[in-house]
Amino acid sequence: MSAELDPGLVGGIVRAALEEDRAFDDVTTLATVDASLEGRAIFLAKEAGVLAGMPVAAACFQALDPRCRLEQQVREGERFDRDAVLASVSGPVRALLQAERVALNFVQRLSGTATLTRAFVDAVAGTRAVILDTRKTTPGLRDLEKYAVRCGGGMNHRRDLAAMAMVKDNHREAIRREGRTLAEATAAIRAIRPSVAVEIEIDGLEQLDEALEAQPEWILLDNMPVAAMAEAVRRVGGRAKLEASGGVRLESVRAIAETGVDAISVGALTHGARALDISLELAF
C-alpha cells in the first residue's frame, strides 16, 4: 500500500466496491475456472496518461485472495505512453477475474484525475500558482480522489469542513442577517478553533477591504475577471494568500496564474475527469 494511503480506509472502500459487484459470487468465474489454476495478468494502457490507483487495485485482488501479488512497472504519478505495461498481477486466476472490473474502475478513474491534474499543473508551470482540488468529490471516495490529485502534481485543499474555516457567500449572508461583520465572524471562528486557517470568499473588489479587515489567512476570488484578480493581488500586497476559483478551464488557467494569485482551485479535477482507457489482459 502506498505510504500516502491509509490501508484501513482503502480496505473498506475496496470491500464495499467488491460487494456491490458481487465479486465473491461471480457465477461465470466460479463455474468455469478451476480453483487451482494460477496465472498472471497485465494492466495495459490504451492511451497515454499519468498513473494513480495501483495500490487500490492490489487491495482488490488481495481481498479476493491474499496470495495475489501486484508489481508495478510504472510508478504512481509517472507519465506513461499508449501500449505501456503499467503493472502485472499474479495469483489464482479466479481472483484475477473476480476483481478485474473493480480494480480497473479504480485505476481508470484515479489515473484520469491524475492525468487531468498534470495538464493543469503543466499549464501554470513557471508561475507562483499551485493547483488545488475541491470538495467536489465522489461521495465515499474523497481520499482516493485527493490522492490522485497529488499523483498528478496538484495539492489538496481542505479535506473536510473541520480542516479549515471557509466563509462562503451563504455564510456572509447569514452573518449580515445577524448584524455582524466579517471581522467579528473570523474572531468567533478563532475563538472555538484557533488552530485552523480562515478563508473568506469574495466575488467582487468592492468586498475586498472588508475581507482584509478580518485578517484571514486566505481570500478566495470567486468567478472574478482576470483583470479584477490582478487588481486584488496588487491591493492585497501579500497581507493574505489569494485563491482563484470558479469555472477554471485549461484554456484560461495560465492567464489566471499570471495575475500573481497563490493558488487556483479546480473542481473539475475530481468531478470532471474522464476515466482513462486501461485494460487487464491475462498473460499466464
Please give the positions annotated as active site: 101, 136, 168, 201, 222
Distance CA 38, CA 98 (A): 14
Helix (H) or strand (E) run with residue 200 in it: strand 198-202
Q: How many CB atoms lie within 10 A of CB 201?
A: 23
H/E element holding 222? strand 218-222
Amino acid (1-letter code) at residue 78: E
How far, in Å, CA of 66 to CA of 256, rounded?
48
Which residues, listed in sequence order, are joined to residue 87 by a DSSP beta bridge? 43, 72
Query: Residue 125, class by beta-carbon neighbours within 10 Å (0-12 exposed, 13-18 middle, 19+ buried)?
Result: exposed
Question: What gap in Å lies between CA 148 and CA 276, rounded to an integer?
Answer: 13
